[in-house]
């Protein structure tokens, strides 16, 4: 871990105030993937609690390029959103969580709202604080009241009303694919039924440092474009997770 810390500090000054122990805590809090590597315990008389992880290390000659690429993803995404807004697009955010009953669950959707505002600079936001990812958009939040969350304009039904009545091009921004739906047919219908829904941007920066842009024409011409909105999906990911702003 000491070696990893030394390498990271060579490429950023964001952690200058961290010591090794604090760095370990940071890695745990942001759920870095290396922590999923199996632990190999090495019992020693001098240090019975010593353990190691077998991890793959990027070759030194590739590290600078990898660091630069990682740093540019968020910047490029925000520039893309700014360019769309400057050409007249309405950047609309949507956050969905599964049925919740606790304050902690509501805190998660509030964090998603904050992430959409901070990372994607959306103009307005709609939420579904209690719907399954597979459920059709038209059937979500029919009896739900507008949640009392700052910067939120309404529920799924209010979003659909906007898409039905707007004459402005819309870019719908979500965090992860299941932040919108795992029903690919329903996502296709969302594009088909709303002619001013021109794009959807899927922010996966906290998970794989990527964003995905889906154009209306591409989705309608080749439905396979939206294949990642699917029922068979990976384990749920923490969409309330924050990234570091550089």
CATH of the domain at 199: 3.40.50
The answer to whether position 241 is within a domain reads: no
The answer to whether position 184 is within a domain reads: yes
The verdict on 111 and 214 lying in the same domain is yes
Its pTM stands at 0.78
What per-residue confidence (pLDDT) applies to 232?
41
What per-residue confidence (pLDDT) applies to 42?
59
Domain residues for 23? Answer: 2-57
The verdict on 174 and 202 lying in the same domain is yes
The answer to whether position 62 is within a domain reads: no
The answer to whether position 42 is within a domain reads: yes
222 HSE (CA, 13 A, CB side): 5
Alpha-carbon distance of 136 to 123, in angstroms, equals 24
What per-residue confidence (pLDDT) applies to 185?
95
Return left, alpha or beta for 203; rule: phi > 0 is left, psi -120 to 50 is alpha, else beta: beta
What per-residue confidence (pLDDT) applies to 180?
96
The answer to whether position 187 is within a domain reads: yes
Q: What is the pLDDT along the chain (246 residues), one digit of tens a residue?
A: 788 888 888 878 878 889 999 988 888 777 776 667 776 665 555 566 666 767 777 888 888 888 888 789 999 999 999 999 999 999 999 999 888 655 666 788 899 999 999 999 999 999 998 899 999 999 999 987 777 888 999 999 999 999 999 999 999 999 999 999 999 999 999 999 999 999 999 999 988 889 999 999 999 999 889 998 885 455 555 555 555 544
What per-residue confidence (pLDDT) applies to 106?
77
The verdict on 26 and 114 lying in the same domain is no
The answer to whether position 115 is within a domain reads: yes
Compute CA distances 5 → 9, 10, 60, 101, 232, whole Å. Answer: 6, 9, 15, 40, 37
The verdict on 191 and 89 lying in the same domain is yes
What per-residue confidence (pLDDT) applies to 166?
98
The verdict on 92 and 186 lying in the same domain is yes
Alpha-carbon distance of 172 to 213, in angstroms, equals 10
CB-based burial label for 227 (10 Å; 0-12, 13-18, 19+): exposed
The answer to whether position 237 is within a domain reads: no
The verdict on 30 and 111 lying in the same domain is no
What per-residue confidence (pLDDT) applies to 57?
76
What per-residue confidence (pLDDT) applies to 243?
59
What per-residue confidence (pLDDT) applies to 134?
93
What per-residue confidence (pLDDT) applies to 74?
93
The verdict on 47 and 89 lying in the same domain is no
Is 215 strand, coil or helix?
strand
The verdict on 96 and 38 lying in the same domain is no
The verdict on 47 and 92 lying in the same domain is no
What per-residue confidence (pLDDT) applies to 103?
60
The verdict on 174 and 207 lying in the same domain is yes
The verdict on 159 and 90 lying in the same domain is yes
The answer to whether position 64 is within a domain reads: no
What per-residue confidence (pLDDT) applies to 29?
77
């Amino acid at each position: 871990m000491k070696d990893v810390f030394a390498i990271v500090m060579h490429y950023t000054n964001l952690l200058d105030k961290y010591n090794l122990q604090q760095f370990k805590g940071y890695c745990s809090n942001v759920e870095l993937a290396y922590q999923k590597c199996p632990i190999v315990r090495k019992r020693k008389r001098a240090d019975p609690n010593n353990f190691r992880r077998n991890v793959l290390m990027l070759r030194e000659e590739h590290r600078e390029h990898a660091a630069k690429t990682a740093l540019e993803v968020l910047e490029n995404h925000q520039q893309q959103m700014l360019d769309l807004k400057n050409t007249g697009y309405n950047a609309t955010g949507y956050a969905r969580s599964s049925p919740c009953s606790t304050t902690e669950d509501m805190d998660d959707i509030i964090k998603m709202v904050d992430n959409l505002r901070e990372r994607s600079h959306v103009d307005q936001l709609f939420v579904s604080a209690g719907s399954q990812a597979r459920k059709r958009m038209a059937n979500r939040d029919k009896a739900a009241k507008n949640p009392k969350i700052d910067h939120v304009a309404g529920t799924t039904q209010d979003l659909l009303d906007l898409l039905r009545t707007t004459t402005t091009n819309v870019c719908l921004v979500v965090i992860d694919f299941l932040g919108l739906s795992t029903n690919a047919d329903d996502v296709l219908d969302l594009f088909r039924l709303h002619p001013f829904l021109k794009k959807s941007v899927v922010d996966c920066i906290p998970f794989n440092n990527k964003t995905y842009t889906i154009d209306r024409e591409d989705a309608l011409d080749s439905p396979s474009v939206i294949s990642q909105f699917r029922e068979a999906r990976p384990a749920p990911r923490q969409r309330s997770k924050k990234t570091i702003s550089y």
